[in-house]
Amino acid sequence: MAKLELDDTIAAIATPLGEGGISVIRLSGPGAFDCLRPFFLSTSRKSPDTFPPNTIHWGRVVDSEGKLIDQVLLSVFRSPQSYTGQDVLEVSCHGGLAVTKRILGLFLSNGARHAEPGEFTRRAFLNGKIDLSQAEAVLDLIHAKSNRSLDIAIRQLTGELSKRFQGLKDLILRLLAHMEAYIDFPDENLEVDVSSGMERQFSELLKTIRALLEGFDRNQLVREGALVTIVGKPNAGKSSLFNALLERDRALVSELPHTTRDHLEESLEIKGFYVRLRDTAGLVSTPEQALDKLGMDRTLRALKESHLVLFLTDGSRPLDDSDQHVFEQIPNGKKVIILINKSDLPEKLERTELARLTGRTDPVGISTKTREGLKEIEQQIAAFLEQDMAGEGEQVTRLRHKRALEKALELIERAELSFREKERFELITIDLRAALEIMKELTGEVHSEELLDMIFSEFCIGK
C-alpha cells in the first residue's frame, strides 16, 4: 500500500452495510467541514463551522440541487480532542443502504477521499491518541465473541498492556544505564551493586517476559474459543445434547444409529467464555460402511484438537464394550466431563463400572428431554476453562506480540549468559539495546509502513 497522507480528508461508512436503525458516515481531516458544508442544513440555520465541539445537531442533508436526501443528526468533534486527533464529523442517517451510500457519495464528490481499512484508527495512532497495542485492541474489541474476550480487549484498549510493555522497557533501560555507568566510570562507587544488583535485574526481566508469554496460549483460548467435543457411542444422545446446549435444533436427531456422520460445530457463550461446541459421529470398533469410517476418522481428529471432552453415556442401558471403546479413543491428558444421559428413564447403568472405566466418581446425570443437569454441565465447562486461563500474562493476545517477546527473551537470555560468563559490558549492552528496540516496536514508538499496513489491513473500512 502506498504511504497514506495525513493532511487530506477521508470519509467512510462506519456502520455495517445493510438495513438497520441508523447508519453513520464519518469524516476526518482538516477539510471535514468544507466537505460537509454545502450539504447540511441545520434547523438553527447556523453553519456547521460555528458548532462547538462535542455537540449533536439535527438537520437535513440535501444534494447539490437542494433536494432532500434525509433528516440526520450531526456529531461534531474538533481537533485535537477527537478520536483521530483531527476534526471529525459523524452523520447519523436512517439505516438504509441507498441513503447511506448517497450521503457518502456527496462527501466524496466534494473533496473527501474514501478511507482505507482502519485508516481512522491509523490516524489516531499516528497523531499520538493511542499506541499500537491500543490500536490492535480496537480490532479485538470489535471481534470479541464473549465477555471474557471483551474484558481483555477493554483492558488493552485502556492501556494495561501498554503499561506492561513500558515496564519491561524501563527495566531494560535501567539495566543498560547501570552497565553504561560502570563502563564510563569503573572506579566510581555505584548505587547498585555491580554483580548482585544486575543479577536481580536480569532475573526480574526474564520472569516478566516469560509470564507474558505463558499467557498467550490462555488468551488464544479466550479469543478463538475453547473447543468442546461431545463423544459417545451411537444413539447415546450426542446430537440431542448438542441441540439442548445450543437451545435450538441444529443437529438431526433420530433413533436410527449413525444419523450424524460428520461433526457439526456451533458457537455459544458459557459463563462469559466463548465455546465452540462439536457434535460428532458415534464411535464403534468396526464401522459397517465406508461413510461411517470417514465420520469416525473426523471424530478422532476432533478429539485431538479439543480443549475439553464431554463423554456421554446412556444411563437407560448397561455400560458395554462400545462405551469402553469410545472412552479409550480419548487422548491421554485430555480434560473430560463424564455424563450419564436419559436421567428421566430408569437407570440401568452401573456407576461403579463407569468409575472403573473412567477413573472418575463424579459423573453428571442429565436429561436432554427435561434439561436436567444442563446448568451443571455449563458450570463444569466454565470451571475447567477458569483453570486453563488462570495466571499472569493474561493480556498478550496477538501473534505479533508473542514473536516480539520471544525475540526479546532470546536476546536478554543471551545477555544474561554473557554477564554470568563475565563478558565485557560493551558486548552485553548490544543485546540489551536490540531488546529495547523490540519493546519500542511493540508499542509503536518505532514502526514501519509495512507493519502499519499489516495491522490496519485487518480493520473494516470506517474504523
Q: Do 187 and 262 reside in the same domain of the chain? A: no
Q: Examine the pLDDT at 86 and tell me if it is beyond 90.
A: yes
Q: Do 169 and 153 reside in the same domain of the chain? A: yes
Residue 455 domain-assigned (yes or no): no
Could you say which of 326, 359, 389 is where a domain stops? 389
3-state secondary structure of 190: coil
Q: Do 287 and 360 reside in the same domain of the chain? A: yes
| Higher pLDDT among residues 309 and 392, named by residue | 309
Q: Which helix (H) or strand (E) holds 357?
A: helix 351-358
Residue 456 domain-assigned (yes or no): no
Q: Examine the pLDDT at 262 and tell me if it is beyond 60.
A: no
Distance in angstroms between the alpha carbons of the first and the last residue of the chain: 18
User: How would you classify the pairing of strands 88-95 and 20-28?
Assistant: antiparallel
Residue 231: how many other CB atoms lie within 10 Å: 27
Q: Do 194 and 261 reside in the same domain of the chain? A: no
Q: Do 71 and 28 reside in the same domain of the chain? A: yes
Q: Do 232 and 305 reside in the same domain of the chain? A: yes
Q: Do 67 and 117 reside in the same domain of the chain? A: yes
Residue 451 domain-assigned (yes or no): no
Q: What percent of the chain has pLDDT over 70?
A: 88
Q: Do 165 and 269 reside in the same domain of the chain? A: no
Q: Do 372 and 405 reside in the same domain of the chain? A: no
User: Based on the structure, what is the number of domains in the chain?
Assistant: 3
Whichever domain contains 373, its CATH number is: 3.40.50.300
pTM of the shown model: 0.70
Which distant-in-sequence residues (6+ apart) come within 8 Å of 214 by Cβ?
A: 391, 392, 393
Q: Residue 253's pLDDT is what?
A: 46
Distance CA 239, CA 251 (A): 6
Q: Residue 322's pLDDT is what?
A: 87
Among the ranges 63-72, 194-203, 221-230, 242-251, which has the highest mean pLDDT value? 63-72
Q: How do residues 39-54 score in pLDDT, each as one tens digit? A: 999 998 899 999 999 9
Residue 450: how many other CB atoms lie within 10 Å: 9
Output the nine-digit C-alpha cell for 260.
450424524
Q: How do residues 353-391 score in pLDDT, each as one tens digit? A: 999 999 888 899 999 889 999 999 999 988 888 876 655
| Higher pLDDT among residues 195 and 231, named by residue | 231
Q: Do 17 and 66 reside in the same domain of the chain? A: yes
Q: Residue 291's pLDDT is what?
A: 56
Distance CA 77, CA 93 (A): 17
Closest CA to 455 of 119, 157, 218, 156: 119
Which distant-in-sequence residues (6+ apart) come within 8 Å of 225 by Cβ?
A: 145, 146, 267, 274, 275, 276
Residue 144 domain-assigned (yes or no): yes
Which distant-in-sequence residues (6+ apart) come within 8 Å of 152 by Cβ?
A: 140, 219, 222, 223, 394, 395, 397
Residue 276 domain-assigned (yes or no): yes
Q: The domain containing residue 435 runs over which residues?
A: 140-220+398-444
Which pLDDT band, with edges at 50, 70 and 90, does 287 fall under? low
Q: Do 236 and 384 reside in the same domain of the chain? A: yes
Mean pLDDT of 200-229: 84
Mean pLDDT of 419-444: 89
Residue identified by cell 481499512 is 117
pLDDT averaged over every residue in the chain: 85
Could you say which of 347, 372, 389 is where a domain stops? 389
Q: Examine the pLDDT at 63 and tell me if it is beyond 70.
A: yes
Which distant-in-sequence residues (6+ apart) come within 8 Å of 371 by Cβ?
A: 244
Whichever domain contains 420, its CATH number is: 1.20.120.430
Could you say which of 130, 155, 184 is where a domain stops? 130
Render the burial of 359-387: b for 16+ CB within 10 Å, e for the rest. Answer: eeeebbbbbbeeeebbeebbebbeebbee
Q: Residue 250's pLDDT is what?
A: 59
Residue 4 domain-assigned (yes or no): no
Residue 460 domain-assigned (yes or no): no
Residue 457 domain-assigned (yes or no): no
DSSP 237: S
Q: Do 360 and 428 reside in the same domain of the chain? A: no
Q: How do residues 18-47 score in pLDDT, each as one tens digit? A: 888 999 999 999 999 999 999 999 998 899
